[in-house]
Amino acid sequence: MKHNQVRWVILFGTVAILVIFTIQVYWLLRAWNVNEKQLNETISIVLNTVAHRMSAYNQSVLPNENPVNQLSSNYFVVNINSVIDANILEYYLKTEFARVGMNVDYEYAIYDCHNDKMVYGNFIPAEGSIRPVSPTTNLPKYSEYLYYFGIRFPSIKNTILSNMTIWLILSGILLALVLFFCYSILVIFRQKRFSEMQRDFINTMTHEFKTPISSINISADVILQPEIIRDPDRLLTYGKIIKQENSRLNKQVEKVLQIARIERKGFELVKEQVDLNGLLMQVVESCRANAAKEINVITELAPAAGMIRADILHLTNILFNLVDNAIKYSGDRPEIRLFTYREHNLIRIRICDNGPGIPKFHRNKVFRKFYRIPTGNVHDIKGFGLGLYYVKSACRAHGWKIRLHSDAGKGCCFTLFMNT
């Protein structure tokens, strides 16, 4: 799938998800409002009936206006206009709520006009309720009435939610579908990126193999010329070229096969005591001997770094990859800075260069398999994008950590954190 096609699929998918979510949220809010309104109306009807029954019991007259007043989403006050008997009130409340089939938690308090305070009545839990509810015990007063009671519904939101079960189930299904869509898009991106990396790897590998194969082919053609036997120096030169390019091919193939073996079988570590500073300097001298340019190496190696228990083969490969990369990416005048530190049981190695650095966008990706910072069709730096992937994997196998610090134009610093 082409990049533009993927982009349009993502765009339309995102718009569709946003539209669906907007519609779903709208209908959820509307369903909530409808259920809340119906519940409040039912409560008002029940409380209105209780007020009339209390009025009939007290042989008093209710005010002309509606005796029920809702002060908040879960608190109501009811004007009785006469003295209230708490036992009778609780009986009427239980009776009327049961009559309409409304099973909710509620608590009530009666206003005492002589002491100007709300006298707490009781907390009535819903039938079958196992959820603990902390009573308020201090219901607010209402200055407009003289004889009234207040009633609070602490779990009214849960009641509304229980009435919206079907809506919540449908929303959950929709959310699951959206998450599946997002996961599918993520898989598509991963597969696309992996395909691009594989394509780049094949292109790079073809380019890397083509040069030595061409050199071997040319050298073989020269050696096959009959008159070459009369020029032993020239014959020796082309023989060395064949040997050198063949060795280069073997190293490239071995590098790819090594990654394949590691992924199939994992790391088989043979740990032993290794002189860290000594091994680091051996690696530096080896890289310096193989480099075609002069290298300035600055070292600050702490004697306390001492010995570390590690697989010497993989540790050598880790250090070689990091030092070799520092040399390759440092331009014409490489300056490599090497530091070792020891802090209790933690040893740190820093390998820094004076190259162009790594842009922020690529810093977390350079440890991925086959990943190389895009440079167009320019292949100035040889490699398959496996070196840092191997380094990360080998460090993980040892239980070590590696961190990259880089500023644009100021080079890179790789820091190894090694437990002794």
DSSP per position, 73-126: TTEEEEE-SS---HHHHHHHHHHHHHHTT----EEEEEEETTTTEEEEEEEEPP
At 311-331, the pLDDT tens digits run 888 888 889 888 888 888 777
Which one-letter DSSP state was computed for residue 344?
T
Is 355 in contact with 330 (CB distance < 8 Å)? Answer: yes
Would you state the pLDDT for residue 376? 47
What is the Cα–Cα distance from 301 to 214, expressed in whole angstroms?
43
Q: Among candidates 98, 84, 62, which has minimal Cα distance to 150?
A: 84
Is 305 in contact with 341 (CB distance < 8 Å)? Answer: yes
Would you state the pLDDT for residue 11? 80
Looking at every residue in the chain, the average pLDDT score rounds to 81
Q: Hey, what's the torsion of the CAs at 190, 191, 192, 195, to 10 degrees?
A: 120
Angle at 280 between CA 274 and CA 282, to 5 degrees: 95
Would you state the pLDDT for residue 44? 92
Would you state the pLDDT for residue 149? 93
220 alpha carbon, distance to own chain's centre: 55
Would you state the pLDDT for residue 144? 86
Domain boundaries along the sequence of the chain: 3-127+134-163, 166-265, 271-419
Low-confidence ranges of the chain (pLDDT < 70): 1-4, 6, 128-137, 196-208, 210-211, 248, 251-252, 254-266, 292, 370-385
Would you state the pLDDT for residue 121? 86
Would you state the pLDDT for residue 373? 67
What is the Cα–Cα distance from 123 to 131, expressed in whole angstroms?
14
| CATH number of the 271-419 domain | 3.30.565.10
Q: Among candidates 313, 329, 334, which has minimal Cα distance to 382?
A: 329
Angle at 189 between CA 186 and CA 192, to 5 degrees: 150
Would you state the pLDDT for residue 378? 42
Say which CATH topology domain 166-265 has. Answer: Helix Hairpins (1.10.287)
